[in-house]
Chains A and B, each alone.
Chain A
Amino acid sequence: MIPLGLPEPTAPALTTQAPDLDYWLLSPLLVVFAVGVVGVLVEAFVDRRHRRLTQLVLALAGVGAAFVLTLLQVGSLPEQGAGVGVAFATVAVDRPTLFFQGTILVLAFISLLLIAENRDGESAFAAQAAAVPGSEEERAHVLAGSQHTEVYPLVMFAVLGMQLFPASNDFLTMFIALEVMSLPLYLLCGLARRRRLFSQEAAVKYFLLGAFSSAFFLFGIAMVYGYAGSVHFADVYAAVGAGGAGVIEDGEPLLLIGMALIGVGLLFKVGAVPFHNWKPDVYQGAPTPITALMASCTLVAAFGALLRVFYVAFGASVWEWRPMLWVVAILTMVLAAVIAVTQRDIKRLLAYSSVVHAGFVLTAVVAASADGLAGAMFYLAAYGFTTIGAFAVVTLVRAPEGGAEAGDLAQWAGLARTSPFLAGALGLFLLAFAGIPLTSGFIGKFAVFEAAVAAGATPLVVVGVLSSAVTAFFYVRIIVLMFFAEPAETAPRVLRPGGLTGTVIGVGIAATVLLGVFPGPVLDNLLPQPSAEAAVGTQPSGAGIVPEDMFVR
C-alpha cells in the first residue's frame, strides 16, 4: 500500500551529545518558569497564613530578576547580525525580542501590584472559586478569609508564555507559547470575587473562542508545514522564496490558506475586528487586575508574535498578506470606534478602545518597514502603561452598595468633585488614548502613522486619523462627564488608593507623561540606526521593505 516515489522517512542520526543550550540567553524564561513551579510548591507546603506574602515576594522578585537579566542581555547581543537563535534556533534572541520581553516583564510587575491589592482581607479574587456563587459554602469561605494564592503561579506561567510568544522562531514553539500564555488566563478570568456569574461566563466565552482560534492557528501551521516542509521560520522564508518545498506541486494555495489561518489565530489574540468579539465580554467579566494584565501584556506579546510571523516567516510574501491586514486594520479602526461610542460600561468601553488601538498598531505592521517595527514597539509599550493605569482607576470606583465596581458610566458623573485626583488621573489616561500632544499616545500614533505613510499606506492613515477623531469624542465625553456633570443620585463609593494601587496609578501617569514629553531616548534607541552611508543610498522607500536585519533568521 505504501506508494512508490515517496521519500523514505529518515531517522536523524542518534547522537550521544546533549543538545547545546545557551542557558544565559534562556535565563529570563527559566527564572519566570522556576518561580511558577516554586509557587506551586508553596501552595502545597507553606502555611496558609504566610502564603500570600510568600507568593507575592517570589513573583515580584522573579519578574524583577527576569527583567534585569533581559536588560543585561541587550549588552551581550553580538555586534554582527541581529541576534542569536537559541535551543536549535527555536527561540530567537534579538532586539525586538528583548524589547518585547522587557516591556512584558515591566507591565507584568505593575499588574502584579494591582493583583496583590488587598483591602481588609479582600482581594479582587473569589474566596473559593469552586464554591457555587451565593451558596453557604461560599459564605463560609468568605468568613474564613480564604484566598486563592494560586493566582500568582498562574500569572507567572502566563507571563512565561507571553515572554516566549514573541521570541519563538518556529511555529511549533509559537503554538506552545500561545497555549502556555492562554490557559492560565482562561482560568484567571473566572476568578472574580464579585459578579461571579459574569466572571464565569467570561471565562467560558474566552476559553471556547480561544480554543477555537488556536485550532485555526494550528491548522494554518499544518498547511504551511505542508508547503514548506518545515515549521522553522527561516526554512519557511526560504521555501516561500523558492516557491515551495518541491514535494507538492502547485503548493501555493497551501501557503495562502496557511497564512490566512495563522493570521486568524494571531489577530484573535490581538483582538482585531472581526475577531474582537471576545474582548468586551472578557474584559468586563474578568477581575479588573487580570483585565489590566491582559490588556497590556497579552497585547504586547501577541503583536510581538504577529510581527515576527509576518516579517520573518512570511517576509518574502508581503504582497500576499498586506491586503489582508489592510482590510483588517480598516475594519478594526472603523467598526470598533463606532461601537465604542455606544458603550455604557467603563470596562467595555476600555475594551473597545483596546480594539481600536490594535487597529492603529496594525497600520504599523502593514508598513512592513523598520520604522513600522519601531513605531509598533513604542506604541505598545506606551499603551501598556496607560491602560494599566486606567484599569487601576477602575478598581477604585465602587458601587454604593455591595462593593462591586461601578461599571456603569452614569455613576461616574461628577466624580471630580469628590475625588479630583482620581478623575484627573483617568482624564490624563483618556487623553493619552485619544492621542493628545504631550502624552505618550500622541507620540505613539505619530510614529505608527508616519511609518505607514512612508510605506505608501496613506489611505490607511486617513482612516486612522478619522477613527482617532471618533474615539477622541467618547474619551472627552467621559472627561466632561467626570468634571462638569452633576453627580448621579447614586454616587459611587471611591476607595482611597492603597499603596499598591497608588503606585500603579503613579507609574501609569509618570510613563504617560515622560514618554509623551521626552520620547527621544526610547524612540531613537529601539532599533539600531542604519549607518549614514546606507541612509544616503536608500531614499525614503515607498515600497516598504521588510526589515531583514532586525530579526534573527
Chain B
Amino acid sequence: MDPMNYIVLAAVLFTIGAVGVLVRRNAIIVFMCVELMLNACNLAFVAFARMHGGIEGQVIAFFVMVVAAAEVVVGLAIIMQIFRTRRSASVDDASLLKN
C-alpha cells in the first residue's frame, strides 16, 4: 500500500478536526477536535518518516504526544473553571467581550 494514502488520510482527519472546531459549540468537543488535528499531524509525520526512511518524523510524533498531553492539562483546567462559573461549556455563551 502506498504510504501516500496515509498522508491523504491524515489530511482528511485534519480537515474533519478543523471543521469540527469551527462548527461545534461545546468547548470540550472543540478541544477534542483540536486533539484530532494534532493526531492527524502525528499520522502525517509517521507516514513521511516511512517514506523518507528516517526516524526523525517518528521522534517528532512522540514530542507532539507530550505537548498534546500538556495542552490537555491546561485546557481542561481553563474549561472547568469557566464551566463552574457559568454552568455551561458552550463557546457561544461566553460572549461578554465585545465592542
Contacts and interface: CB of A to CB of B under 8 A. Distances in A.
Contacts of A266: none
A129 B56 contact: no
B81 A9 contact: no
Interface string A193-234: 000111011111101100110011011011101100111000
Nearest to B97: A281
Interface string A284-307: 110000000000000000000000
Tell me if A's interface is mostly helix, strand, loop or mixed: helix
B23 interface: no
A175 B66 CA distance: 12
A170 to B, nearest CB: 9
B55 interface: yes
A11 interface: yes
Contact of A7 (B48, B52, B96): B52
B12 interface: no
A245 B54 CA distance: 12
Contacts of B82: 200-201, 203-204
Interface string B70-98: 11001101110110111000010011110
Contact of B7 (A6, A203, A216, A226): A226
Contacts of B44: 219, 222-223, 226
A88 B66 CA distance: 21
B49 A3 contact: no
A187 interface: yes
Interface size class of A (residues with CB under 8 A): 35 or more
A78 B63 CA distance: 32
Contacts of B41: 215, 218-219, 221-222
B31 A211 contact: yes
A538 to B, nearest CB: 38
Contact of A231 (B7, B60, B77, B99): B60
Interface residues of B, number: 53
Given A133-B85, A344-B99, A7 B75 contact: no
A223 to B, nearest CB: 7
Nearest to B94: A201
Contacts of A8: 53
Contact of A204 (B1, B34, B56, B79): B79
Nearest to B70: A183
Given A197-B96, A248-B51, A343-B99, A215 B34 contact: yes
Tell me if B's interface is mostly helix, strand, loop or mixed: helix
Given A198-B97, A207-B74, A281-B97, A7 B53 contact: yes
B84 to A, nearest CB: 5
A308 interface: no
Contact of B27 (A132, A204, A225, A348): A204
A349 B78 CA distance: 26
Interface string A327-342: 0000000000000001
Given A133-B85, A179-B67, A218-B64, A342 B99 contact: yes
Given A187-B77, A219-B14, A225-B57, A245 B52 contact: yes
B53 A130 contact: no
Contact of B50 (A6, A129, A245, A285): A6
Nearest to B72: A211
Contacts of A343: 99
A367 to B, nearest CB: 32
A176 interface: yes
A118 B48 CA distance: 53
Contacts of A6: 3, 50-51, 53
A229 B27 CA distance: 36
Contacts of B51: 6, 226, 247-248
A534 interface: no
A1 to B, nearest CB: 6
Task: From A179, A183, A218, A222, name the one whose CB has the most chain B CB atoms within 10 angstroms.
Answer: A222
A179 B60 CA distance: 14
A9 B91 CA distance: 45
Contact of A172 (B14, B21, B60, B70): B60
A186 B27 CA distance: 15
A130 B99 contact: no
A146 to B, nearest CB: 16
Task: From A183, A187, A219, A284, name the one whose CB has the most chain B CB atoms within 10 angstroms.
Answer: A219
A12 interface: yes
A421 to B, nearest CB: 31
A247 B77 CA distance: 43
Contacts of B3: 3, 6
A182 to B, nearest CB: 9
Given A208-B75, A343-B99, 20 more contacts: A1-B1, A8-B53, A9-B50, A183-B71, A190-B81, A198-B97, A201-B95, A203-B82, A204-B82, A208-B31, A211-B34, A215-B38, A219-B14, A221-B60, A222-B57, A225-B57, A229-B48, A231-B60, A284-B97, A285-B97
19 contacts: A1-B1, A8-B53, A9-B49, A9-B55, A129-B81, A132-B84, A183-B74, A186-B78, A187-B74, A204-B27, A204-B94, A208-B21, A216-B18, A219-B44, A222-B41, A222-B48, A226-B7, A247-B53, A280-B97
